[in-house]
Structure 1
Amino acid sequence: VTAVSCVPVPKFTVIIGGSHGAGNYGMCGRAYDPRFLFMWPNARISVMGGEQAADVLSTVGNADPDEIRSKYENESNPYYSSARLWDDGVIDPRDTRDVLGLCISASLNADMPEQGYGVFRM
């Protein structure tokens, strides 16, 4: 985790499926500051999956599981995410190579930041 979060090379993320919770961090989600983060139209992003959230929240409180599932399905949509500028856009899967090529080209113009690694524990 330290290596991924501190590596000085440009990072690009394309979410092609579900990206929930800690997995989002581990796969270079927004918290790891990728230069660009895109989503495919079928992707989903949220703190946790809708089914899991419905189970947890209905157990903890008096929440309606169907209502929770519906809310999570709505708010994990890539267009919902892009509308709030949580990512850099929804791309057609067929255009992924071209989009990443443009991103790599753009990133070559930036200065490389100073390296600042944390403590690596073995």
Structure 2
Amino acid sequence: MAGLRTALHGAGVVPLVVAPRGGMLGDIPVQRTSQTASSVEFDAAIALVASPDAPTQRLLDELFRQGKAIGATGDGESALGSARIDPGAAGIVVAGADEVVSGIIGLLGSHRVWERLAGKEATVSA
């Protein structure tokens, strides 16, 4: 996670760490809990670990429906599945950490994933 944060900071992105509980993840502080995080606070999200808790699923679902870019790396792809998000949908980047960071940064330039909002692709898998 530290390398991912460093890459995002280097691109001028301010990452917020969200986890089911507050405290520290190693030496990185948790800035929002999944209970208190609101989708309006984020322009994009990157899922790093599988998280079956309902608040995280809700957050990812809201970000998806709002047309925001979402990335997943490692076990984070499972979080997309838990939120019933199609990993092949427009604006979803599932890859290694470096590719996810570059993909998300590229998507941030358009503020939203307009292709998804226009209904050109399925938004939720069944």
Q: TM tier, shorter chain?
A: 0.3 to 0.5
Q: Which has the larger radius of gyration?
A: 1
Structure-2-length-normalised TM-score: 0.41
Q: Name the TM-score, length of structure 1 as normaliser.
A: 0.42
Higher relative contact order (CA 8 A, sep 6+): 1
- Structure in which a larger fraction of residues adopt helix: 1
